[in-house]
Structure 1
């Protein structure tokens, strides 16, 4: 499954987030695959696409960062997959 992970940063802690990332990497457990990410212009949010078959692994990852980041996790699909599901006939 694909997940849109929206990380919300406290502006006063942005440098701490990037310092931890530089030192420790993403810290995602095996089974959680990073796809791509984008950062808002004000550095207040990071939008990531992650792939994972077990949401518990995402929760494990969130616990590695919850002292610096507030997470919002939304299951998503590609537009192509959604269109195929909608137009499928049984």
Structure 2
């Protein structure tokens, strides 16, 4: 399953976030594949797409960074996956 991960941090968290990122590169724990990550310019926020079947690993990753960021984690699907679901729904009518 894919997840859209969005984060925001207060300005005071910038230095701790920089130090941790430089040390760890922000890599997820085992069981999570990071598909891509984007950072905003001028704010302490961004988003990532991650893939995992292990929700406990996803929770552990958010907890690891929870002292500097707040998170919103949402299941996500691709256009192809959505298209298949829409086609199945149309056929069921």
TM-score (norm 2): 0.85
Equivalent residues in 2 for 1:31-70 (5 A)? 31-70=31-70
Structure 1 residues 40 and 66, CA gap change in structure 2 (3 angstroms): same
Gaps of 5+ in 1: none
SS of the residue corresponding to residue 4 of structure 2 reads: strand
Residue 47 of structure 1: SS of its match in structure 2?
strand
Q: Distance in 2 between matches of 1:28 and 1:37?
A: 11
Indicate the SS of the match to 1:26. coil
Q: For the residues of structure 2 that align with 1:70 and 1:29, how far apart are their CA atoms? A: 18
Greater helix fraction, Structure 1 or Structure 2: 2
Greater Rg by CA: 2
For 1:2-81, list aligned pairs within 5 A.
Answer: 2-81=2-81
Give the structure with the higher percent strand.
Answer: 1
Q: What is the deviation of 1:27?
A: 4.6
* 1: CA distance, partners of 2:5 / 2:17: 15
How far off its partner does 1:12 sit? Answer: 2.2
Please report the TM-score for the alignment, with normalisation by the length of structure 1.
0.88
Greater mean deviation of Cα atoms: 6-15 or 66-75: 6-15
Residues in 2 aligned to 1:69 and 1:34: alpha-carbon distance in whole angstroms: 18
